[in-house]
Amino acid sequence: MDQKGIFRKRKPPLGSVPGTLSIDEGAPFPKISLIEFDRDFMNEDVIERVEDLETVVFATDKVHWIDVQGLGDEATIRKLGEVFSLHPLALEDITNVPQIAKVEEYENCMFLCLPMMRMEGDLVVSEQVSLFLGETFVLTFQERYGDVLDPVRKRMRRNSKIRSMNNDYTAYAILDTIVDNYYPVLQSIGNELEKLEEELVETISREKLKDLYSMKHKLAQLKRLVWPTKDVIGRISREESEYFEDQTALYLRDVYDHIIQSLDMLDISRELSSELMNLYLSSTSNRMNEIMKVLTIISTIFIPLSFIVGIYGMNFVHMPELSSKWGYPVVLVVMGVVVFIMLLFIHRKGWFRK
Amino acid sequence: MDQKGIFRKRKPPLGSVPGTLSIDEGAPFPKISLIEFDRDFMNEDVIERVEDLETVVFATDKVHWIDVQGLGDEATIRKLGEVFSLHPLALEDITNVPQIAKVEEYENCMFLCLPMMRMEGDLVVSEQVSLFLGETFVLTFQERYGDVLDPVRKRMRRNSKIRSMNNDYTAYAILDTIVDNYYPVLQSIGNELEKLEEELVETISREKLKDLYSMKHKLAQLKRLVWPTKDVIGRISREESEYFEDQTALYLRDVYDHIIQSLDMLDISRELSSELMNLYLSSTSNRMNEIMKVLTIISTIFIPLSFIVGIYGMNFVHMPELSSKWGYPVVLVVMGVVVFIMLLFIHRKGWFRK
Amino acid sequence: MDQKGIFRKRKPPLGSVPGTLSIDEGAPFPKISLIEFDRDFMNEDVIERVEDLETVVFATDKVHWIDVQGLGDEATIRKLGEVFSLHPLALEDITNVPQIAKVEEYENCMFLCLPMMRMEGDLVVSEQVSLFLGETFVLTFQERYGDVLDPVRKRMRRNSKIRSMNNDYTAYAILDTIVDNYYPVLQSIGNELEKLEEELVETISREKLKDLYSMKHKLAQLKRLVWPTKDVIGRISREESEYFEDQTALYLRDVYDHIIQSLDMLDISRELSSELMNLYLSSTSNRMNEIMKVLTIISTIFIPLSFIVGIYGMNFVHMPELSSKWGYPVVLVVMGVVVFIMLLFIHRKGWFRK
Amino acid sequence: MDQKGIFRKRKPPLGSVPGTLSIDEGAPFPKISLIEFDRDFMNEDVIERVEDLETVVFATDKVHWIDVQGLGDEATIRKLGEVFSLHPLALEDITNVPQIAKVEEYENCMFLCLPMMRMEGDLVVSEQVSLFLGETFVLTFQERYGDVLDPVRKRMRRNSKIRSMNNDYTAYAILDTIVDNYYPVLQSIGNELEKLEEELVETISREKLKDLYSMKHKLAQLKRLVWPTKDVIGRISREESEYFEDQTALYLRDVYDHIIQSLDMLDISRELSSELMNLYLSSTSNRMNEIMKVLTIISTIFIPLSFIVGIYGMNFVHMPELSSKWGYPVVLVVMGVVVFIMLLFIHRKGWFRK
Amino acid sequence: MDQKGIFRKRKPPLGSVPGTLSIDEGAPFPKISLIEFDRDFMNEDVIERVEDLETVVFATDKVHWIDVQGLGDEATIRKLGEVFSLHPLALEDITNVPQIAKVEEYENCMFLCLPMMRMEGDLVVSEQVSLFLGETFVLTFQERYGDVLDPVRKRMRRNSKIRSMNNDYTAYAILDTIVDNYYPVLQSIGNELEKLEEELVETISREKLKDLYSMKHKLAQLKRLVWPTKDVIGRISREESEYFEDQTALYLRDVYDHIIQSLDMLDISRELSSELMNLYLSSTSNRMNEIMKVLTIISTIFIPLSFIVGIYGMNFVHMPELSSKWGYPVVLVVMGVVVFIMLLFIHRKGWFRK
């Protein structure tokens, strides 16, 4: 179970000057791609030199989406910050991942960061997406190559509604797609949990207990990731902002509803996992009861019998019963009576019932 | 127990264009019926062609209730959307079931969706009802054939108060009836729980534990279904809206009170189920205590006795007691004394008390 | 324990026309009494015909308190509704008991309903009181004959302060008396709980566990009854209303404080009952520990001894110890040493300490 | 442990006229003392006749603090009420103790009541202090003789800052001193708890469990006493009031901070006590495990051995092993092997590890 | 584990005059250092006589940071209070440590106090920092020598951005550095917890349980220390204040985000520790189950066998089986069958499965 993948610890540069960028050693080198389009025109480009983007910033006639994948080079990030006049604190937030989802309005643009999740095989892969929405551009930063945004690109190519809208709609489309991808991740965990449920009902084992425990841990972390996005999206969908037009706000409210549904599913899973812990504990108690009942039934019947036969195993010279002809059969009968009484007693206690 | 029936997972079309309708394969074909009435007139019709409804939209003289049962045909839904100028996001919400209960005010109508529940035999059947309240129409979408709204239809036919009111009152009547039907569902679950309570007090069994567990699960899901309806109805009963007249708002507040009472009953059931889990655990502990007491009493009495008789079962040649005439009776007396002491000890410990 | 008496299930007439009165079969026939007074005058009457009250409605010179006990006749209730122009939804709330405590302001009067509780012997009897405060009248509906309001009547007869005040003060006096009567009910439950506490500390029994469980259930239900009254009284004491004068509002705040104190006592009882459950569980564990310790001490000492005596009970021909003169005493000494070691071991484990 | 001392039940006079004073039988007779001072003058007096205070009410040149200890005489209380024009509901609150801490602004004065606590030896003594702050007087009522306010009196005598301030500062000084005295009470309970913690870690006993339980009870009651004072002091420190000057409000905020710190300490103690309960339960489980391990080790080793020696204790005539010369030693060796296997098995299970 | 170091009890001087300074006996003597700088100038000084600071107060051209380490001399503190005109209540808060984090705006300056934490080896060292931000100075008080603020000093020396900003930015830099240092403390505890987790999964021991318990205690205390700082920083970052310029407020919001992240990490650790407690309990139950299974298997197999061999150990003269040639082998076979049946029974119960 890849817990680390979901929730890494943030590395705050201790006492450093605000605005310090903390670049991970293994972080991939930034790949910058540009998509520009309007209703009739669409162009995709790979940008090699950041300076080439300078013209883009002032071009108001088209929608420009600049997507940066990989944060492995400080110089590139800094230059992008200069070209798009990004605030130093925002730049810091891009690289000092993972941040808690947030939104901040700076002078020339709105800054959003939120987690992006996808399944890679059985693993949950989570990274941080930072999005800047300016007057003339949408600028996104991702930690790694590869993302969940291909459907958005396809819609741009397909000349669908997105082509005739402004860049706030593009920002919406990106947010919507990111949030939509929370759901399958949660669903896969929900399925794991249901499988675990069936197994727990069948057998009691330490392995399952540990699985359940790490599942709870995972769910707690997911909640912490997804919960703040609710406030972020909620805020930009309610508050009037110069960056989002009114009709887009309606769509953002739809994104908000989807987050609510994801959180709802998360809560159900969390509740289910807590109930499973209870069920497990109760089952253990039940099992113990059954085991003890068997032990006690066996002991209750045989310990008195063993005592009786022990008596007549004594070697006293003067034990009249021993030499009596009826001694042996009488003892057998007595033991039969004892067994009967004990069985009756156990039956009365209800221990034979399951 | 049909958990799936109460709470199905929503299928969000990943990264799809907003407004995509997700039609279930097995969903029934839409049946459209129209009821139009005023104080003196009442007509019920089955609509075959959606186009026939176009005149209805602009007819301001009567109340029109268009009821669509079954969401199995995208073309029909889309055409209805066109005829009544429904917002694409609302259309999406109709089909991408189940939604969390919500209300949204669009330009030309108010959109409400909330869950409808009814008992079919022992099973809880839940589906989503979407309601559009426009200036001239009430338009409802249901997932399946058959509903709980027959009493509303009967009141319309009976020429009761509803006939002399506007279409906001019809919308109220529909909402009221849907909410009223939460109660019997909750009551049936409450009854199940009380039956379970009695059984749990009687016997401790793994079956009952699992029943209790799935009951808790069910209650959690019901809470999640019903809880958001509180906010929805609360909002439309408090806020002034152009679609609901002031005097109808008073009636909506009554619906709100009914939801509060349903949630209250739900909470009592939830609390009861938690207490039952505790009771179960305590009972198991109790039971274990009883079992252990029996085992310990039997062992405490007989294990020392067995040791004593074991001594005189030894085959040493030189054991003076063995050949003594009083050996056997003395040992019997000693054992009697031991039993007496042990019984006294057990009595002091209070283990004979229940 | 009369749980049903405290919290009955509401019978909502499914899908019925709003305003339907649901009359219980066994409900007593309405008895109507009228008290009218001013500073110098006081008259008590039993009203046979509802029509006789018509003049009362418009008489502004005196305070009129019309008290209706028993809801068993729909016609009477309806006629009262007509005479005092009560809203149909309020009429419905009177009869569809029990409602959750609430306050509603209608055009011509304020409508309050809240629970009334009293002890009848060991039983808690709870019923719903509905109170209408109009310009010229105070109208109360009670479910059964007999109530807790006699002190109010006595004060009216005694020519105390209430006689020189308006009808809002009469309404206050009624509310105050109802709320004051919550306290002894809670106190009697608190006493039961304290008795249970002492018993639980003494003995562990399934009976006590069930008592505790049903006590928790009762407390949960009482909380649900009393909690909403807090909001109701809080609202009418804070908000300016045309029906309550400013100086009476000060008195209502006093009623509010009393409810807070009742809820406080309820919460202490609830917390106490939860702690008792914990105490019970811990005690069971303790008890089990003690039992197991005895079993283990007995077994630890005697099982090895039994093995030793078993060895010399074997019938081998060639066992040199058996024929040795010192065989028997040596074995006895060895067993003494084993016992000593075992006792030391047990002592080290601290099992002899309580 | 004197639980009763901390939290007594309130005696509401059932259905009595509002303003009824409920005088406890054993309550001490009121002792009235007057301190009047300004910057240059200071006088302490014992007041015998309440009428003597009438001039005080209108004397605006000095600060007057009238302190009443003991509530045992209704006439005196009533006369004080007349002299200072106290509202009947406030008078009721003085005597119907204990009230929940509250503040009420009447026409001619502000009324505050809050709990006063002090340690008398090991016991917590708690009583209610009622404080009236009027234009020209500070009037306090205490339930018993003796209080925690001597430091305030000393400061008045010492000609410190308090002498040059108005009567709102005197009220503040009283409140501050009362609240400061919560802390040592909480600290003494915290110490008790820490002692209990050490003992619980050492031994598991029913006595300690009961101590812990009663400690939790006590803490819950203290929380209920102290919690409402937070709101009361918070309110008078924030809201502008004609009775407190702006610069005194700053000091009241300091009192507020002290209450927050007391509540904080209380919460730590409560959390600690809950954790102790958990620790206790886990320790019990641990202990049980240890006991069971010993029992099982002993049984696992000796029960099979006893069976083996039992075999050769059988008296069959035809048992070839018995007459064999090597029978006895072989059996001994076999038993040694069995012991070795069993020890290996137990070692593998890890039961020898602590 | 140094619990005392994190959370000491506050010593409120009982009933003392407000403004009393409580000086700890062992507290170090105050060392006062002054850093003054502007863009082009920077000077560090050790101040011996408090009077030397008088000129500083009115020097508006530079940023002055006066740092006082050690609170061991009342006279020095009082003199500082006079020189900088600090409010007596603020002076009291400096010395009566630890305070709960708070902010207060006085006439001439803003007063903040919050906890500072650092690791010294394995120990968490926590002390209180009080900060006054006036028009012309930043004044900090620390309890001990040594702090976490060296990075701030270095930045001042390095002529970085801080040199060209006003003293509100210096205050921000100090707060930022203090808050940044919470994180490594929390991280070290998180690591301890993860180590504990691994150990708990391996073995069940009383030592680990106590470690876990004290860890929970520590986390609770840390939460109480850090939680109030959130409100304090949140308030100064949101509210407009004359002491913080608008552009610094943006940086304070960044500090606020860091606190949120620290609290988030703290919550994860707290949740983890609670889950560990559950895991521990479940593991104990599991372990008990395993032990009981072994005991019961051994007993179930051997107790009946011992009974059988006991029968033929009886010394009755008339026991035909004893003299039969096939007696012994038949008994052996019977015992084999019994063992087989018992093993089958145990296998059916599933006790051989882990």
Residue D2 has pLDDT above 80, yes or no: no
C315–chain B Cβ distance below 8 A for any pair: yes
- A26/A68 same-domain check: yes
- B221/B265 same-domain check: yes
Nearest CA in chain B to A255: B18
Q: What's the rounded mean pLDDT across residues B296-300?
A: 86
Residue A95 has pLDDT above 90, yes or no: no
Say if the Cβ atoms of B187 and C9 lie within 8 Å: yes
Q: Which residues contact D125 (CB under 8 A, 6 or more apart)?
A: D5, D117, D118, D119
* Interface residue of A9, A212, A283, A321 to substitute, partner E, most E CBs within 10 Å: A9
Say if the Cβ atoms of B204 and A265 lie within 8 Å: no
Q: Say what percent of chain E tops pLDDT 70.
A: 93
B318–chain C Cβ distance below 8 A for any pair: yes
What is the three-class DSSP state of B2?
coil
d(CA B67, CA B131): 9
Q: Is residue D41 part of a domain?
A: yes
What is the gyration radius of the CA atoms in chain C, in angstroms?
35
Give tens-digit pLDDT for B321-337. 788 888 888 888 888 89
Predicted confidence at residue D199, as pLDDT, reads 78
- A27/A95 same-domain check: yes
Give tens-digit pLDDT for E206-254. 777 788 888 888 888 888 888 889 989 988 888 777 888 888 888 898 8
Interface of A with B in 331-350 (CB under 8 A): 349-350
Q: Is residue B354 part of a domain?
A: no
pLDDT band at E178 (very low <50, low <70, confident <90, very high): very high
Specify burial of residue D169 (Cβ count, 10 A radius: 0-12, 13-18, 19+). Answer: buried
Q: Is C245 left (phi over 0), alpha (psi -120 to 50) or beta?
A: beta
Nearest CA in chain D to E273: D275
Give tens-digit pLDDT for D206-259. 777 788 888 888 888 888 888 889 989 988 888 777 888 888 888 898 899 889
Question: ipTM of the assembly?
Answer: 0.71
Let me know: does B53 contact B169? Beta carbons within 8 Å. Answer: no
pLDDT band at D21 (very low <50, low <70, confident <90, very high): confident
Ranking A17-31, B38-52, B112-126, D156-170 by mean pLDDT, the lowest is A17-31
Ranking A91-95, A232-236, A239-243 by mean pLDDT, the lowest is A239-243
What is the gyration radius of the CA atoms in chain B, in angstroms?
35
C99–chain B Cβ distance below 8 A for any pair: yes
Angle between helices B206-238 and A246-311 in degrees, nearest 10: 160
Q: Is residue E13 part of a domain?
A: yes
Specify burial of residue E206 (Cβ count, 10 A radius: 0-12, 13-18, 19+). Answer: middle
| Bigger pLDDT: B198 vs D343 | D343
Let me know: does E196 contact E208? Beta carbons within 8 Å. Answer: yes
d(CA E70, CA A113): 43
Say if the Cβ atoms of E288 and D286 lie within 8 Å: no
Give tens-digit pLDDT for B61-111. 889 999 999 988 888 999 999 999 998 888 888 888 778 888 888 888 999
Domain finish residue from D239, D264, D281: D281
- Report chain A residues whose CB lies below 8 A from the CB of B16: 151
Say if the Cβ atoms of E250 and A89 lie within 8 Å: yes
Distance from CA of E278 to the nearest CA of D (A): 10
pLDDT band at B16 (very low <50, low <70, confident <90, very high): low
Predicted confidence at residue B107, as pLDDT, reads 83
CA distances for B164 relative to B61, B85, C19, C273, D74, angstroms: 12, 27, 16, 55, 65
Residue B129 has pLDDT above 90, yes or no: yes
- C328/C272 same-domain check: no
Predicted confidence at residue A4, as pLDDT, reads 41
B296–chain A Cβ distance below 8 A for any pair: no
- A272/A326 same-domain check: no
Interface of B with C in 68-97 (CB under 8 A): none
- B142/B220 same-domain check: yes
Q: Is residue C237 part of a domain?
A: yes
- Report chain C residues whose CB lies below 8 A from the CB of B252: none
- E251/E329 same-domain check: no
**Which CATH number covers residue E146?**
3.30.460.20
Domain finish residue from A241, A258, A281: A281
- Report chain D residues whose CB lies below 8 A from the CB of E309: 307, 310-311, 313-314
A17–chain B Cβ distance below 8 A for any pair: no
What is the three-class DSSP state of D135?
coil
- Report chain B residues whose CB lies below 8 A from the CB of C210: 201, 279
d(CA C314, CA D77): 94
- B235/B344 same-domain check: no
**Residue E92 domain boundaries:** 3-281
Q: Within 10 A of E217 (CB to CB), how many other CB atoms are there?
A: 20
- C76/C214 same-domain check: yes
C3–chain B Cβ distance below 8 A for any pair: no
Nearest to E327 among D261, D293, D318 (CB): D318
Q: Is residue A242 part of a domain?
A: yes
D321–chain E Cβ distance below 8 A for any pair: no
Domain finish residue from A241, A265, A281: A281
Q: Is residue E287 part of a domain?
A: no
Give tens-digit pLDDT for D88-135. 888 888 888 778 888 888 888 999 999 999 888 777 888 899 999 998
Tokens of B98: 């189940």
Domain count of chain A? 2
Nearest to B298 among A264, A300, A354 (CB): A300
Q: What angle do CA D157, D163, D169 make, to 5 degrees?
A: 120
Residue E65 has pLDDT above 60, yes or no: yes
Residue E112 has pLDDT above 90, yes or no: yes
Q: What's the rounded mean pLDDT across residues C281-305?
A: 84
Q: Is residue E286 part of a domain?
A: no
**Which CATH number covers residue E298?**
1.20.58.340
Q: Which helix (H) or strand (E) holds A186?
A: helix A182-202
- A203/A334 same-domain check: no
Tokens of A342: 């004990």
Let me know: does B43 contact B37? Beta carbons within 8 Å. Answer: yes
A311–chain B Cβ distance below 8 A for any pair: yes
- B188/B325 same-domain check: no
Say if the Cβ atoms of B151 and C292 lie within 8 Å: no
Say if the Cβ atoms of A353 and B209 lie within 8 Å: no
Predicted confidence at residue C29, as pLDDT, reads 92
For chain C, give the mean pLDDT.
84
Nearest CA in chain B to A279: B213
Distance from CA of A332 to the nearest CA of E (A): 9
Nearest to A315 among E184, E271, E315 (CB): E315
d(CA C152, CA C65): 11
Residue B32 has pLDDT above 50, yes or no: yes
End-to-end CA distance of chain C: 37
| Bigger pLDDT: D1 vs B210 | B210
Say if the Cβ atoms of C288 and B288 lie within 8 Å: yes
Say if the Cβ atoms of E272 and A217 lie within 8 Å: yes
What is the three-class DSSP state of E28?
coil
Tokens of B21: 């309708």
Q: Is residue B287 part of a domain?
A: no
E306–chain A Cβ distance below 8 A for any pair: yes
Give tens-digit pLDDT for A24-50. 778 889 999 999 998 888 899 999 888
pLDDT band at C197 (very low <50, low <70, confident <90, very high): confident
Nearest Cα residue to A128 out of A45, A232, A49? A232
* Interface residue of A11, A96, A203, A204 to substitute, partner E, most E CBs within 10 Å: A204
E148–chain A Cβ distance below 8 A for any pair: yes
- B276/B326 same-domain check: no
CA distances for E326 relative to A163, C177, D318, E334, angstroms: 99, 92, 8, 12
Nearest to A304 among B18, B302, B323 (CB): B302
